[in-house]
Amino acid sequence: MSAESRDPAPEGPQGWPLGSGVLLDVQKFFQISDNHAGLLQTVFIGCLLLSAPVFGYLGDRHSRKATLSFGILLWSGAGLSSSFISPQYSWLFFLSRGVVGTGTASYSTIAPTILGDLFVKDQRTRVLAIFYIFIPVGSGLGYVLGSAVKELTGNWRWALRIMPCLEAVALVLLIVLVPDPPRGAAEKQGELAMGGLRSSWSEDVRYLGRNWSFVWSTLGVTALAFVTGALGFWAPKFLFEARVVHGLQLPCFRQPCNSEDSLIFGALTVVTGIIGVVLGAEASRRYKKVNSRAEPLICASSLLAAAPCLYLALILAPTTLLASYVFLALGELFLSCNWAVVADILLSVVVPRCRGTAEALQITVGHILGDAGSPYLTGLISSALRARRPDSYLQRFLSLQQSFLCCVFAIVLGAGCFLMVALHLERDQAQAQQPGTGTPDGKHVDCKDGESQSLLSGTRASTENP
C-alpha cells in the first residue's frame, strides 16, 4: 500500500503523508506557506470523507471488487497527473489531492468488510493484524521510496510518478486473487440468513447511532486520526528543523531539500508500525481469553502510554535529538497498537449487512474531526506563534514544536473514549450476533434491553442445539 493510501481509521484511520516525504519541495515549488500547506491534507481528507458514505452504500449493496478497482484507478491516476502541474496552477495540485482522497475512500471503506466476511474470531484478529501491518509499512516505504527516487533523479516529481506503478500491481492482484464473499458469510448472517433482505441507509444509520460501542470507538479513532494526521504531515519537517537547530543540517533555501529526515521518519514508521500492530493484535487475542473487554482496554492503555512519549519527544528535541527520536519511535509504536484492534471492535459490534456503512461513517467522522483539520490547525498555530517572534530558525522550530502539543491532549481524550467502549462492548457484541438486529424485521430487537437479553438466550440455545 502506498503512502497515499494509509488509513488512520479504522478505516483507519488513520493521516496520509503528502507526496512521500517531499513536502518541503512542494512548498517551495508552489510557494505555499505552512498554514496553506496544511490545507493540502484538509482537501484530501475533505474529499475522502464526502466520498466515504457513497462507497459505504455501494459496498453494502453492489460488487465490492468492482468498487475497489474503480477507487484504485481514480487515486493512482490523480496522483500521477499531479506530478505534471506547473507552479502557476497550484490550485490544480490541491484539486488532485482531493481526487486522490475520493479514490482512497473506496479502499478504506470496503477492504476491511471483505476480511470480516472471510474470517471470524482469532482468525479475523490475525488477518486484520496482517492487513494493518501494511498501513505503516506502505506509508513508511512511501517516504523511503519517494525520497530515494527524488535523490536519484534530482526531481521531487518522480516521487509522485513511481507510486502509480505500484498501485497498478495492487490492482492486478486484487482482481486475480481477492474473492468477493457474500456479506455475512463468515457468521452465516446477513445475506445468507436474511435471504438478501435489505434495510434502507437511514435505518442503518439509526441502528449505528444506537450502538454505543460504535459511537465511542469512532470518537476514539477520531482522536487517533487527529494525532497521526498531524504527525504524518509535519514530523519530517519537525525533524529537519531540529537537525538545523543542533547544527547537524544546513537550512534548505533551494530545491531539492535534504530528504534524510523523511527517510528516518519513514523507517521509524515501518518498524514501529509492524511491531505495534503485531503487539496490539496478539495482546488482544490473548487477553480476550480472560477478559471479554480486552480490545478497548488495550486501545486505551496504548494511547495513555503514547501521550507521555510524544510529549517527551517534543520537549527533548531542542536539547537532545537522540532522546527525541527514541520517544517519537515509542509514541508511534503505542499508536500503532490500535489499528487492527479498532477494526476488530467495529466488526464485532456491527451486524454484517451494514459494515460498509459503519466503516464509512467512522471514516467520515474520524476525518472531519481528526486529520482533516489537524495538519492545518498545527500549521496555523505554528504560523501564529512565529508571527510574534524574531525571524530565526530556532524560533521557527520552537513554534512548530509547541503547536504539536495539542496532539498530546487529543491522545488522552481518545483513551477516555475507548474506556467508554469497554462499558458497552459486551452488550453490543451480543446484539450483533442476533440474526435480524438492525434490520427492518428486527427494529425493535435493540430498543429494549430486556427483550434483547431474552432473545439472546434463545438465539444461543438454538445455535448450540440446531
How far apart are the C-alpha atoms of 290 and 42, rounded to whole Å? 42
> For residue 270, what pLDDT is reported?
79
CB 226 within 8 A of CB 371: yes
| Terminal alpha carbon distance of the chain | 43
Statement: the pTM of the whole predicted model exceeds 0.75: no
Q: Which amino acid is at 340?
A: A
**Ranked by mean pLDDT, which of 94-103, 110-119, 449-458 comes out on top?**
94-103
- Between helices 339-349 and 294-316, what is the axis angle to 10°? 150
pLDDT digits (tens, 9 = 90+) for 320-356: 889 999 999 999 999 989 988 998 899 899 988 888 8
Assess whether pLDDT exceeds 90 at residue 424: yes
- pLDDT of 140 over the 70 cut: no
121-153 helix and 90-116 helix, angle to the nearest 10 degrees: 150
Integer angstrom CA distances of residue 306 from 144, 411, 412: 24, 7, 9
pLDDT reading at 452 higher than 80: no
Q: Output the pLDDT for position 327.
A: 95
Task: Find the range with the poorest average confidence among 2-16, 70-84, 430-444.
Answer: 2-16
Residue 456 has pLDDT above 50, yes or no: no
Query: CA-CA distance, 325 to 239, in Å (whole number)?
Result: 9
| Banded model confidence at residue 394, pLDDT cuts 50, 70, 90 | confident
Q: Which helix (H) or strand (E) holds 365?
A: helix 355-369
Q: Which residue has the higher pLDDT, 37 or 168?
A: 168
Cell numbers that stand for 260 in this block: 534524510
| pLDDT value of residue 7 | 41
Contact present, 67 and 59 (Cβ < 8 Å) = yes
